[in-house]
A = this chain, B = another copy of it.
Amino acid sequence: MAINQTRDDMVDSIISVFRSEGYEGASLAKLSEATGLGRSSLYHHFPMGKEDMANAALDRLGILMGGDILGPLAGPGSARQRLADFGAKISGFYADGRQPCLLDVFSVGDAARLFQDRLRQTNRAFIQAITDLAASTGASPAEAARRGEDALIAIEGALIVSRGLASSDPFRRVLAELPDRVLGTEK
């Protein structure tokens, strides 16, 4: 769309289409419109077509996760402050619960068959980052792992229920309660 867009800009547009439409629902027409590029230009950048675009989307998701989103969890500051920063990133990344997660929409159909291994890696990285933080606050390894897994479950589930109810409330509530649940200080 934008003039002089970088490859990251292109991939961000592509991710947006995959998230909203799913893998099979993301037609080249929609991907073309979102990026502002003609079909042939897309094939110039992604010779293998849609599969290449999805791999580029997963590449970028991995980079965003490892850096901007999960990064705060291992950063400086108190555990509670790091979780607050993380929550803000998550809220923005999922547009207050309105934007689906690629880990969800790629877990059915052709995408599930094509990208199974990559999905597993990204799920693991997410869980591990929360697990590490929980462990650093004194939780046992098993308990920390449980909280890491629960955090991803809660976020993914909240996204579905928020879309299902057409309300951001469940997503916001889950994010608000997340620090206490990770730190084991709920109730």
Contact = CB atoms under 8 A, between A and B. Distances in A.
Interface of A: 19-25, 100-101, 103-105, 107-110, 112, 116, 119-120, 122-124, 127, 146, 149, 152-158, 160-161, 163-166, 170, 173-174, 187
- Oligomeric state, in number of copies? 2
A178 to B, nearest CB: 12
Contacts of A19: 108
Residues of A contacting B: mostly: helix
20 contacts: A20-B108, A20-B109, A21-B108, A21-B110, A22-B24, A22-B108, A23-B25, A25-B110, A100-B107, A112-B163, A116-B166, A120-B165, A123-B161, A153-B154, A153-B157, A153-B158, A153-B174, A156-B161, A157-B158, A187-B187
A154 B154 contact: yes
